[in-house]
């Protein structure tokens, strides 16, 4: 720790904030920030989300940092054994904390799920079934982390679950986000048609759009990219929204962000994590697809890992060499 450098964090530069959500907003610095940070900290739910075998022994805040983020339709405290995780993201911040890689894990990825602590049997299945097999809730996220650790050899610095309904409120409080649609798509949830071009979307529209995968050229891969784009759109909107003159609205945004999260920071105080990530540039986000391809097995549609290239990605994550891997495998990497 360097007390002399503990200045007020510039919220407009923070994407990962507590580091643990599909999206975390950047906010303008304001007077009374410590008070607001304390209030935000108290709104965040905390659980032991990581399986012991998937957890790093110690987190060094100068990096590298690797987090597991899960998006769900339901807040973690609501147990639903029939629920599967809708979005799975591995966020890797290399040493120096000047770049972030957003690695989207296909939810249909065929993996070997270990036995659950609840007595559920292990075996091959789609990765988003790990949450269901673990019994939902905290047990489901733990089994998901154990599954990913077995697949990749990674240990995580923390994990988080974001409730999509809560983030809808955050987007609305920010005045919506600017999303650019590349291919026309009709929502299978609402019937809304998203036409090509850049549009201002409210929370409901944005979350509806980024969850579409049918009728898109890249299917689920396009859905993953659109979710990554939403991360940046929220960051940019928060940076453009002048909340310094409206502390009441800032407080509402902070509470909405905190209220949508359940986190496991591996013992690191949220404020220290915010400070460590305060200088992460907005243009430093790169989206990464896990090298894989769709495949039908016994009349069931899966996504199957490219063992050679995907294994190289996982090794690069373990060794903090993702930049080198990305240079040699550009087809799987794109700016967010």
What residue ranges do the domains of the chain occupy?
3-174+244-335
Question: pTM of the entire structure?
Answer: 0.77
**In the chain, what percentage of residues exceed pLDDT 70?**
75
Q: Which contacts of 204-208 are long-range, i.e. CB under 8 A and separated by 24 or more positions? A: 204/168, 206/171, 206/176, 206/177, 206/179, 206/230, 206/233, 207/164, 207/167, 207/168, 207/171
Average pLDDT over residues 214-223: 80
Looking at residue 178, what is its pLDDT? 92
How far CA 243 is from CA of 40, 44, 48, 174, 240, in Å, comes to 15, 21, 33, 9, 9
Confidence of residue 96 (pLDDT cuts 50, 70, 90): confident
Looking at residue 215, what is its pLDDT? 82
Instruction: Give CA–CA dist 304/109, Å, rounded.
Output: 6
DSSP secondary-structure letter at 10? -
Q: Is the dihedral of CA 111, 125, 332, 72 positive or negative?
A: negative
Phi-psi region of 101 (alpha: psi -120 to 50; beta: other; left: phi over 0): beta
Looking at residue 239, what is its pLDDT? 63
Confidence of residue 290 (pLDDT cuts 50, 70, 90): very high
SS3 percent helix, strand, coil of the chain, rounded to 5, is 35, 25, 40
Count the neighbouring beta carbons within 10 Å of the beta carbon of residue 138: 18
Instruction: Give CA–CA dist 74/35, Å, rounded.
Output: 29
pLDDT in tens, 223-232: 777 877 887 7
Average pLDDT over residues 223-249: 71
Residue 58, Cβ density class (10 Å: 0-12 exposed, 13-18 middle, ≥19 buried)? exposed
DSSP secondary-structure letter at 286? E
Among residues 23, 63, 330, 74, which one has the least CA distance to residue 203? 23
Q: State in Å, rounded, how far the first CA of the chain is from the last one.
A: 32
Determine contact, residues 229/179, Cβ cutoff 8 Å. Answer: yes
Average pLDDT, the chain: 78
pLDDT in tens, 18-75: 333 333 334 433 333 454 456 666 677 788 999 999 999 999 888 899 999 887 655 4
DSSP secondary-structure letter at 5? G
pLDDT of residue 292 exceeding 90, the answer is yes
Residue 35 makes CB contacts below 8 A (sequence gap 6+) with none
Among residues 315, 106, 125, 124, which one has the least CA distance to residue 213? 106
Q: Does domain 3-174+244-335 have CATH number 3.30.1380.10?
A: no
Among residues 127, 161, 158, which one has the least CA distance to residue 141? 161
Average pLDDT over residues 251-274: 77
């Amino acid at each position: 720790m360097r007390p002399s450098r503990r200045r007020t964090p510039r919220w407009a530069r923070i994407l990962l904030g507590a580091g643990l959500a599909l999206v975390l907003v950047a906010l303008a610095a304001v007077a009374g920030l410590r008070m607001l940070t304390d209030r935000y900290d108290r709104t965040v739910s905390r659980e032991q989300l990581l399986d012991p075998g998937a957890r790093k022994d110690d987190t060094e805040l100068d990096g590298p940092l690797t987090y597991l983020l899960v998006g769900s339709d339901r807040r973690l405290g609501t147990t639903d054994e029939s629920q599967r995780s809708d979005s799975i993201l591995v966020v890797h911040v290399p040493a120096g904390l000047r770049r972030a890689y957003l690695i989207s894990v296909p939810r249909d990825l065929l993996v070997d799920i270990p036995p659950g602590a609840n007595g559920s049997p292990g075996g091959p299945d789609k990765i988003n079934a790990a949450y269901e097999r673990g019994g939902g809730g905290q047990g489901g996220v733990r089994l998901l982390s154990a599954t990913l650790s077995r697949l990749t050899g990674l240990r995580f610095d923390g994990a988080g679950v974001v409730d999509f309904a809560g983030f809808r409120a955050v987007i609305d409080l920010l005045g919506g986000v600017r999303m650019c649609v590349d291919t026309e798509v009709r929502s299978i949830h609402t019937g809304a048609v998203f036409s090509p071009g850049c549009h201002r979307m409210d929370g409901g529209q944005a979350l509806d759009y980024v969850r579409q995968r049918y009728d898109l050229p890249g299917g689920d891969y396009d859905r993953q990219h659109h979710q990554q784009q939403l991360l940046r759109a929220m960051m940019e909107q928060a940076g453009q929204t002048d909340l310094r003159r409206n502390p009441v609205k800032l407080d509402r945004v902070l509470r909405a962000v905190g209220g949508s999260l359940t986190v496991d920071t591996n013992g690191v105080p949220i404020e220290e994590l915010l400070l460590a990530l305060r200088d992460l540039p907005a243009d430093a986000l790169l989206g990464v697809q896990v090298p894989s391809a769709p495949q039908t097995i016994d009349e069931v549609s899966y996504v199957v890992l490219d063992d050679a290239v995907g294994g190289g990605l996982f090794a690069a994550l373990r060794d903090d060499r993702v930049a080198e891997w990305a240079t040699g495998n550009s087809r799987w990497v794109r700016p967010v």
